[in-house]
Amino acid sequence: MVPVLVVLVALVLWQQAGDDPPPPSVDPTGDVAYARRIAPVPFPDVVSPQGWRATSSQVDAPAGDKRSPVTLRIGYVTPGGRFAEIVVSDQAPATVLRQVAQGSTADGTTPVGGAAWERYRSPRGETVLVRRVGRATAVVTGDAPDPDLVTAASAIR
């Protein structure tokens, strides 16, 4: 009886030791279009970087059209398996930075497509890129390496 019990326990442990399934993919284009339509300021377009997989997308907005605050969040898994998040909001940069990565400290600038993005370091050591795009604020962060975060920032047009 003991050998059978040992085999059963080993089988259960073996099945639990498998990799977690990857998060499901989502299509953020509907949320991007919705945010652009209801935002009280012109919102930039967000185009998913080539080869990246969107795993989350949401728009936080008050009921009704053209009222603030409107915030778009899209989470991605990079080709290297790391995480990056794009946040676009009609709020001031300091407000969005506080919401996305509270306690971040200034760390210079990073060039992205001819524009200078403010670079911050989060309390977790992650890079946070922030830039005013017209009257909207864009923030890019995650555990992805800096070149990937620059690629994500380039997706905001």
Contacts of 76 (CB under 8 A, 6+ apart): 48, 49, 52, 53, 54, 55, 83, 84, 85, 86, 142, 152
Reported as a single tens digit per residue, the pLDDT across 122-144 is 999 999 999 999 999 999 999 99
Q: In this predicted model, which residue has the larger pLDDT, 48 or 12?
A: 48
CA-to-CA distance for 156 and 73, rounded, in angstroms? 12
Q: Is 142 left (phi over 0), alpha (psi -120 to 50) or beta?
A: left
Strands 53-60 and 115-121, sheet pairing: unpaired
- Chain centroid to CA 108: how far? 21
What domains appear along the chain, each with residue ranges and CATH number? 21-154 (3.30.200.100)
At residue 11, the pLDDT reads 47
**Closest alpha carbon to 144 in 80, 93, 90, 94:** 80
Dihedral (CA of 52, 21, 81, 150) sign: positive
Asked whether residue 8 carries a pLDDT value surpassing 50, the answer given is no
At residue 4, the pLDDT reads 46
Reported as a single tens digit per residue, the pLDDT across 43-86 is 999 999 999 999 999 999 987 677 889 999 999 999 999 999 99
Phi then psi for 15, rounded to 5 degrees? -70, -35
Share above pLDDT 90 across residues of the chain, in percent, rounded to a whole number: 80
At residue 30, the pLDDT reads 96
Joined together, the tokens standing for residue 101 give 């990565």
At residue 129, the pLDDT reads 98
